[in-house]
Structures are given as C-alpha cells and as structure tokens.
Amino acid sequence: MAKKKLSDSVVKELAEEVKEWGSMKQTGVSLKQMMNFGGSSKNLLISAQFVHKELPIRIARRVIELENLPYGLSTQNAVLQVRDWYLDSFRDLRSYPEIKDKNDELKFTQMVKMIKVRHNNVVPMMALGVKQLKKERPQFDYKDLKEVHQFLDRFYLSRIGIRMLIDKFSLNAGQHVALHDPNPLPNCVGYIHTKMSPLEVARDASEDARSMCLREYGSAPAVNIYGDPNLTFPYVPSHLHMMVFELVKNSARAVQERFMDSHDEAPPIRIIVAGGLEDISDEGGGIPRSGLPKIFTYLYSTAENPLDEDFTSTGAATACTMAGYGYGIPISRLYARYFGGDLQILSMEGYGTDAFLHLLRLGDSQEPLP
C-alpha cells in the first residue's frame, strides 16, 4: 500500500515548517572555506552551527521536490521511502537545540552520524523508484523522462553538498565529523587533502576497479598511468577516487568483454594525468552512436539492472557490481562539477572511448546549489 503525501500523513505544522525552510536561501561554500573550518575548538563550533542551520534548508527543499515529481514518480514506494528519510532528518535537525558550547557540538556530531547512516541507501533507492516508474509506464523513452533526469541532477548534486558537509560517498565519517579525528593524516583537514596527488589516487582507484573486474571475469586488463608524481593540489580524494573508479570500471568491463574470447591480449587502459586533467582511454569497442546521447542520463546501461523489488523491504545495499545501475557516469559528472570541474566523454564505435576528467585546482569555486 502506497504511503500518503506529506500533507496527508504528518501534522500540518510540520508540513508548513518544511515549506518555510524550503523557501530560505541556501549558503554555498568553497573548498577553501571548508578547509578553514578545521583546527580549533572555536572553528568546530562554528562548523557545527553552520551545519545546524544550513542542512534543514537543503533537506526541506529536497522533501518539497520529492513531493512534486512528474509522471507519478512521487508516488512510487521507493521514492516515498527516500522522502521519509529526508523528512526524519529534517525533524531531527529542527528539534535539536541551539549549539552553544563544545558539549552541544559533540552531541550534535553524534546526531549527524545517525543522519549519515539513514541516508546511506538513497542512491540505489532512487534508482529503484525510477525503475518502478519505467515498469509502470513501459512506453516511456529516455527522452520522455527529461524532467525526471533534470530533477535527479538537482537531487544528487544537492546530496553531494549535504554529504560534503556531514558525510562522504563511502561509509567513513564526513567533513564535520572528520574534523574530530584526533590523529588526522598529514595535510588533511577533515577529509579534504591539501596536497592530494591525483596520480596516487588514480592508481588506487584503478586497482580497486581491476580487483572488481578480476572477481567478475577472472581476469582484468592492465592499467598504465602516466603523469607527474610530484603534482599535488587541494581536493577531496574520495571524490576523485569515486570518479576514476567508475570510469576505469566501465573501461575494464568493455575491454574484458570485447577480448574475452579472443586469442589476442587485451590492450591496457591508459590514464594520463596532466595538471587538473585526467584522460582515461580504452580500446573496448566504443559506445554505439545510438547510445551516446544517453550516457549522461540515469538508468541507461548496457548491462542488466541488479536492483529488484526486495531492496525496499531489506533497505540494505547489495554488493557492488561491475555495471547495471546506470548511475556511475552521470553522478561522476556531478562530482566533477561540484567543485567547478567537468567530465566529457568521446567515443569511436568499433574502437574505444576517451573520458576527460577536468578538476578545478584553485579550490575557490562555490558549490553549485540547485
């Protein structure tokens, strides 16, 4: 049985409060500003006070948007579950008293950790919601879902910002929480690395992608990485790792499937790191011309979708797979754009694909707020 709309299922006062906070102006921050939150107890207190005020605004906007999606997407059970997670987090934040001292700040940080856990499965749950809609309306083409794709871009871009403030893409602590680490790594402020080596991150991410390919296929193409090992700049290593991992994972799958039954040795994937640009190229056969317009849309994938209806009942993320969700490429582009970069993909059908990942190195770009 479908859950009710917000206005029908909660007290009117809460619905009005969500509307009020959703109309407030969001405050964007830059990488440099986030780094300035580290260090002293005073800065930690300022960070907590900012997060306490800013998060309800961003979360309220998402609740309102989740209530008003086109084509009946708002009524899908998986989307209603996501709406309720955001609503619960809004209620928790608004009911938390003013943060005045260190003890208040520490207790607030514990609550932020609980919000992190609550939102861990938002991405696959939203993917399931769109899958439910497509199943309900099989006549829809990806072009017909333009409004849905635009919403998902805004939604996931906002989610990156929220998790940048309190969480990160993995299950580790987020920026505000990470600032409490008593033994921080050298040159780290929270989980921002002030001297990140893009070559080193690319090496780690490509090894993780190769390991997944090995588990899936029994073998994996080599990855050759070229660039200046001394190049460093401020960035979030987990963001870059996720982007390179997704791109190398896709390349490894394409190369492996193309050469799986061939007597020829699979050609290596090449990564060139030059300044704020990373070029990831493969000879995996390229993307069909008919598929190129769809690569940055959600739920486009050449692999079988691994999500099923049981996900809503279990609420647990399944093991990471080589492909199938259709979210890796569009979300990777959002991560690049979050700090002023971009992701571009060029492909030659019958040969291979080049992915150009641009990163803004200055760290003074304001986050784009949808």
Average pLDDT, the chain: 84
Q: How far is CA 294 from CA 115, 159, 291, 329, in A?
A: 33, 22, 5, 10
| Residue spans in the chain of domains classed CATH 3.30.565.10 | 191-358
Topology of domain 1-178, per CATH? Butyryl-CoA Dehydrogenase, subunit A; domain 3 (1.20.140)
pLDDT per residue as tens digits for the range 168-195? 323 334 445 555 555 667 787 777 888 9
Predicted pLDDT at 312: 53
Residue 341 above 70 pLDDT? Answer: yes
pTM higher than 0.75: yes
* Contact (Cβ atoms closer than 8 angstroms) between residue 74 and residue 68: yes
Predicted pLDDT at 35: 73
For the record, the structure tokens of 290 come out as 């008919």
Residue 116 C-beta-side C-alpha neighbours within 13 Å: 22
| Residue spans in the chain of domains classed CATH 1.20.140.20 | 1-178
pLDDT per residue as tens digits for the range 64-90? 999 999 888 999 999 999 999 999 999
What phi, psi does 69 have (nearest 5°)? -85, 150
CATH number of 191-358: 3.30.565.10
